[in-house]
A = this chain, B = another copy of it.
Protein backbone atom coordinates (compact mmCIF):
# COMPACT_ATOMS: atom_id res chain seq x y z
CA UNK A 1 0.00 0.00 0.00
CA UNK A 2 1.69 3.16 -1.25
CA UNK A 3 0.57 6.80 -0.88
CA UNK A 4 -2.73 7.00 1.00
CA UNK A 5 -5.85 9.02 0.21
CA UNK A 6 -4.64 12.28 -1.35
CA UNK A 7 -7.99 13.88 -2.25
CA UNK A 8 -9.86 15.45 0.66
CA UNK A 9 -13.55 14.72 1.17
CA UNK A 10 -15.91 17.63 0.51
CA UNK A 11 -17.35 17.35 4.03
CA UNK A 12 -13.89 17.77 5.55
CA UNK A 13 -13.22 20.95 3.55
CA UNK A 14 -16.66 22.32 4.42
CA UNK A 15 -16.09 21.58 8.10
CA UNK A 16 -12.78 23.46 8.12
CA UNK A 17 -14.15 26.42 6.16
CA UNK A 18 -17.24 26.63 8.37
CA UNK A 19 -15.16 26.57 11.57
CA UNK A 20 -12.83 29.26 10.26
CA UNK A 21 -15.65 31.54 8.99
CA UNK A 22 -17.61 31.34 12.24
CA UNK A 23 -14.47 31.94 14.27
CA UNK A 24 -13.63 35.04 12.21
CA UNK A 25 -17.19 36.33 12.62
CA UNK A 26 -16.88 35.66 16.32
CA UNK A 27 -20.07 33.60 16.31
CA UNK A 28 -20.72 30.18 17.86
CA UNK A 29 -21.02 27.29 15.40
CA UNK A 30 -24.54 25.98 14.76
CA UNK A 31 -25.30 22.75 16.65
CA UNK A 32 -25.07 20.58 13.51
CA UNK A 33 -21.57 21.84 12.69
CA UNK A 34 -20.00 22.00 16.12
CA UNK A 35 -18.79 18.39 16.32
CA UNK A 36 -15.08 17.67 16.63
CA UNK A 37 -15.06 16.01 13.21
CA UNK A 38 -16.93 16.51 9.92
CA UNK A 39 -19.86 14.20 9.26
CA UNK A 40 -19.08 12.20 6.13
CA UNK A 41 -21.90 10.15 4.59
CA UNK A 42 -20.84 7.67 1.94
CA UNK A 43 -22.84 5.33 -0.19
CA UNK A 44 -21.54 1.74 -0.12
CA UNK A 45 -22.23 0.05 -3.41
CA UNK A 46 -22.33 -3.75 -3.40
CA UNK A 47 -18.91 -5.22 -2.58
CA UNK A 48 -17.11 -8.09 -0.92
CA UNK A 49 -14.38 -8.67 1.63
CA UNK A 50 -12.11 -11.68 1.16
CA UNK A 51 -9.43 -13.64 2.95
CA UNK A 52 -5.99 -13.84 1.34
CA UNK A 53 -6.70 -17.54 0.77
CA UNK A 54 -9.84 -16.75 -1.26
CA UNK A 55 -7.97 -14.08 -3.24
CA UNK A 56 -5.34 -16.66 -4.23
CA UNK A 57 -7.95 -19.22 -5.30
CA UNK A 58 -9.74 -16.59 -7.41
CA UNK A 59 -6.75 -14.66 -8.81
CA UNK A 60 -3.83 -17.08 -8.54
CA UNK A 61 -1.17 -18.16 -6.08
CA UNK A 62 0.53 -15.26 -4.31
CA UNK A 63 -1.81 -12.66 -5.79
CA UNK A 64 -2.05 -9.39 -3.84
CA UNK A 65 -5.04 -7.04 -4.18
CA UNK A 66 -4.18 -3.86 -6.08
CA UNK A 67 -5.38 -0.43 -4.95
CA UNK A 68 -7.96 1.12 -7.29
CA UNK A 69 -9.05 3.92 -4.95
CA UNK A 70 -8.38 4.74 -1.30
CA UNK A 71 -11.45 4.98 0.89
CA UNK A 72 -12.18 7.44 3.68
CA UNK A 73 -11.27 5.03 6.50
CA UNK A 74 -7.50 4.86 6.90
CA UNK A 75 -5.87 2.00 4.99
CA UNK A 76 -9.11 0.77 3.38
CA UNK A 77 -9.33 0.65 -0.39
CA UNK A 78 -11.45 -0.41 -3.33
CA UNK A 79 -9.35 -2.96 -5.18
CA UNK A 80 -8.77 -3.04 -8.93
CA UNK A 81 -10.01 -6.64 -8.87
CA UNK A 82 -13.68 -7.49 -9.37
CA UNK A 83 -15.53 -10.80 -9.32
CA UNK A 84 -18.57 -12.50 -10.73
CA UNK A 85 -21.05 -13.66 -8.09
CA UNK A 86 -23.29 -16.62 -8.85
CA UNK A 87 -26.29 -16.81 -6.54
CA UNK A 88 -28.09 -19.89 -5.24
CA UNK A 89 -30.55 -19.74 -8.15
CA UNK A 90 -27.76 -19.42 -10.72
CA UNK A 91 -28.40 -15.75 -11.29
CA UNK A 92 -25.33 -13.60 -11.68
CA UNK A 93 -23.93 -10.25 -10.54
CA UNK A 94 -20.92 -9.11 -12.56
CA UNK A 95 -18.16 -6.69 -11.61
CA UNK A 96 -18.55 -7.14 -7.87
CA UNK A 97 -15.90 -4.86 -6.34
CA UNK A 98 -13.50 -6.26 -3.73
CA UNK A 99 -12.53 -4.03 -0.82
CA UNK A 100 -9.09 -4.43 0.71
CA UNK A 101 -7.05 -5.15 2.66
CA UNK A 102 -7.87 -8.85 3.14
CA UNK A 103 -9.82 -9.86 6.25
CA UNK A 104 -10.19 -13.02 8.28
CA UNK A 105 -13.59 -13.82 6.76
CA UNK A 106 -15.36 -13.70 3.45
CA UNK A 107 -18.43 -11.50 3.23
CA UNK A 108 -20.55 -10.13 0.39
CA UNK A 109 -22.64 -7.00 1.04
CA UNK A 110 -25.59 -6.47 -1.31
CA UNK A 111 -28.69 -4.29 -1.35
CA UNK A 112 -32.21 -5.72 -1.09
CA UNK A 113 -32.65 -4.71 -4.74
CA UNK A 114 -29.72 -7.01 -5.57
CA UNK A 115 -31.26 -9.76 -3.43
CA UNK A 116 -34.50 -9.52 -5.40
CA UNK A 117 -32.58 -9.65 -8.69
CA UNK A 118 -30.75 -12.75 -7.42
CA UNK A 119 -34.03 -14.25 -6.22
CA UNK A 120 -33.34 -14.76 -2.54
CA UNK A 121 -33.92 -13.02 0.75
CA UNK A 122 -30.89 -11.33 2.26
CA UNK A 123 -30.53 -11.27 6.03
CA UNK A 124 -29.93 -7.86 7.61
CA UNK A 125 -26.71 -8.19 9.59
CA UNK A 126 -24.02 -6.14 11.18
CA UNK A 127 -20.75 -6.60 9.29
CA UNK A 128 -18.91 -9.72 10.50
CA UNK A 129 -22.05 -11.35 11.94
CA UNK A 130 -22.57 -13.89 9.17
CA UNK A 131 -23.35 -17.12 11.04
CA UNK A 132 -26.15 -19.07 9.39
CA UNK A 133 -26.44 -16.80 6.35
CA UNK A 134 -26.59 -18.08 2.79
CA UNK A 135 -23.48 -18.41 0.67
CA UNK A 136 -22.73 -18.04 -3.00
CA UNK A 137 -20.20 -18.98 -5.64
CA UNK A 138 -17.54 -16.46 -6.62
CA UNK A 139 -15.78 -16.65 -9.97
CA UNK A 140 -12.42 -15.02 -10.68
CA UNK A 141 -9.93 -15.32 -13.53
CA UNK A 142 -8.03 -18.15 -11.83
CA UNK A 143 -10.91 -20.17 -10.43
CA UNK A 144 -14.06 -20.57 -8.41
CA UNK A 145 -14.43 -20.07 -4.69
CA UNK A 146 -17.45 -21.36 -2.84
CA UNK A 147 -18.47 -19.12 0.04
CA UNK A 148 -20.50 -21.28 2.38
CA UNK A 149 -22.04 -18.31 4.13
CA UNK A 150 -21.65 -14.56 4.30
CA UNK A 151 -24.06 -12.93 1.84
CA UNK A 152 -25.81 -10.14 3.74
CA UNK A 153 -27.38 -6.76 3.61
CA UNK A 154 -25.20 -4.71 5.95
CA UNK A 155 -27.02 -2.87 8.69
CA UNK A 156 -26.63 0.87 8.18
CA UNK A 157 -23.94 2.12 10.52
CA UNK A 158 -21.76 4.96 11.64
CA UNK A 159 -18.02 4.60 12.23
CA UNK A 160 -16.96 6.73 15.15
CA UNK A 161 -13.85 7.63 17.01
CA UNK A 162 -14.31 7.58 20.83
CA UNK A 163 -14.13 11.41 20.64
CA UNK A 164 -17.16 11.42 18.29
CA UNK A 165 -19.05 8.93 20.48
CA UNK A 166 -18.44 11.22 23.47
CA UNK A 167 -19.61 14.27 21.54
CA UNK A 168 -22.84 12.57 20.42
CA UNK A 169 -23.32 10.87 23.80
CA UNK A 170 -23.50 7.32 22.47
CA UNK A 171 -21.70 4.05 23.07
CA UNK A 172 -20.87 1.09 20.79
CA UNK A 173 -24.02 -0.78 19.76
CA UNK A 174 -26.33 2.21 20.26
CA UNK A 175 -28.59 3.30 17.42
CA UNK A 176 -28.77 6.81 16.03
CA UNK A 177 -30.80 8.51 13.31
CA UNK A 178 -29.58 10.14 10.11
CA UNK A 179 -31.69 12.96 8.69
CA UNK A 180 -31.05 13.51 4.98
CA UNK A 181 -32.48 16.59 3.26
CA UNK A 182 -33.31 17.46 -0.33
CA UNK A 183 -36.32 17.02 -2.67
CA UNK A 184 -36.89 13.46 -1.55
CA UNK A 185 -35.41 13.60 1.92
CA UNK A 186 -35.83 11.00 4.64
CA UNK A 187 -34.64 9.99 8.07
CA UNK A 188 -32.95 6.65 8.54
CA UNK A 189 -33.62 5.07 11.92
CA UNK A 190 -31.49 2.36 13.50
CA UNK A 191 -28.09 3.63 12.46
CA UNK A 192 -25.71 1.35 14.40
CA UNK A 193 -22.82 3.00 16.24
CA UNK A 194 -19.47 1.29 15.75
CA UNK A 195 -16.74 2.86 17.82
CA UNK A 196 -13.00 2.34 17.48
CA UNK A 197 -10.04 4.63 17.95
CA UNK A 198 -8.86 3.84 14.42
CA UNK A 199 -12.18 5.07 12.92
CA UNK A 200 -12.91 8.39 11.26
CA UNK A 201 -16.49 9.68 11.61
CA UNK A 202 -18.27 8.21 8.58
CA UNK A 203 -21.71 6.83 7.83
CA UNK A 204 -22.19 4.00 5.38
CA UNK A 205 -25.56 3.57 3.73
CA UNK A 206 -26.28 1.26 0.82
CA UNK A 207 -27.50 2.03 -2.70
CA UNK A 208 -31.19 1.44 -1.84
CA UNK A 209 -30.96 3.96 0.97
CA UNK A 210 -28.87 6.41 -1.05
CA UNK A 211 -31.12 6.20 -4.10
CA UNK A 212 -34.32 6.45 -2.03
CA UNK A 213 -33.21 9.98 -1.09
CA UNK A 214 -30.98 10.75 -4.10
CA UNK A 215 -27.94 11.31 -1.86
CA UNK A 216 -25.50 13.68 -3.57
CA UNK A 217 -22.19 15.13 -2.29
CA UNK A 218 -23.96 18.38 -1.33
CA UNK A 219 -27.09 16.86 0.26
CA UNK A 220 -27.45 18.15 3.83
CA UNK A 221 -27.19 15.40 6.47
CA UNK A 222 -27.62 15.49 10.21
CA UNK A 223 -26.74 12.75 12.69
CA UNK A 224 -29.12 12.64 15.67
CA UNK A 225 -29.35 10.60 18.83
Tell me if A189 is interfacial: C-beta within 8 Å of chain B.
Answer: yes
Interface residues of A in 26-46 (CB under 8 A from B): none
Can you give 20 A-B contacts (C-beta < 8 A)?
A111-B211, A112-B211, A112-B212, A113-B113, A113-B208, A113-B211, A124-B183, A124-B214, A184-B188, A184-B189, A184-B190, A186-B187, A186-B209, A186-B212, A188-B212, A206-B212, A208-B212, A209-B212, A211-B212, A212-B212
Contacts of A185 in B (CB 8 A): 189-190
How many Å lie between the Cα of A209 and that of B112 in the bound state? 11
How many Å lie between the Cα of A208 and that of B214 in the bound state? 10
How many Å lie between the Cα of A190 and that of B181 in the bound state? 10
**Chain A residues engaging chain B, CB cutoff 8 angstroms:** 111-113, 116, 124, 155-156, 183-190, 206-209, 211-212, 214
Please, which residue of chain B has its CB at the minimum distance from the CB of A209?
Answer: B212
Please, which residue of chain B has its CB at the minimum distance from the CB of A122?
Answer: B214
Please, which residue of chain B has its CB at the minimum distance from the CB of A189?
Answer: B185
Cβ of B156 and Cβ of A184 under 8 Å apart? yes
How many Å lie between the Cα of A110 and that of B134 in the bound state? 30
10 smallest beta-carbon distances between A and B, as pairs: A112-B211, A212-B212, A208-B211, A208-B212, A185-B189, A187-B187, A209-B212, A113-B211, A186-B188, A186-B186
Contacts of A111 in B (CB 8 A): 211
Please, which residue of chain B has its CB at the minimum distance from the CB of A155?
Answer: B184
Contacts of A187 in B (CB 8 A): 186-187, 189
Contacts of A183 in B (CB 8 A): 124, 155, 190
Please, which residue of chain B has its CB at the minimum distance from the CB of A115?
Answer: B211
- Nearest-Cβ distance from residue A195 to partner chain B, whole angstroms: 21
Contacts of A207 in B (CB 8 A): 113, 116
Contacts of A112 in B (CB 8 A): 211-212, 214
Cβ of A211 and Cβ of B116 under 8 Å apart? yes
Please, which residue of chain B has its CB at the minimum distance from the CB of A181?
Answer: B189
Contacts of A206 in B (CB 8 A): 212
Contacts of A190 in B (CB 8 A): 183-185
How many Å lie between the Cα of A156 and that of B184 in the bound state? 8
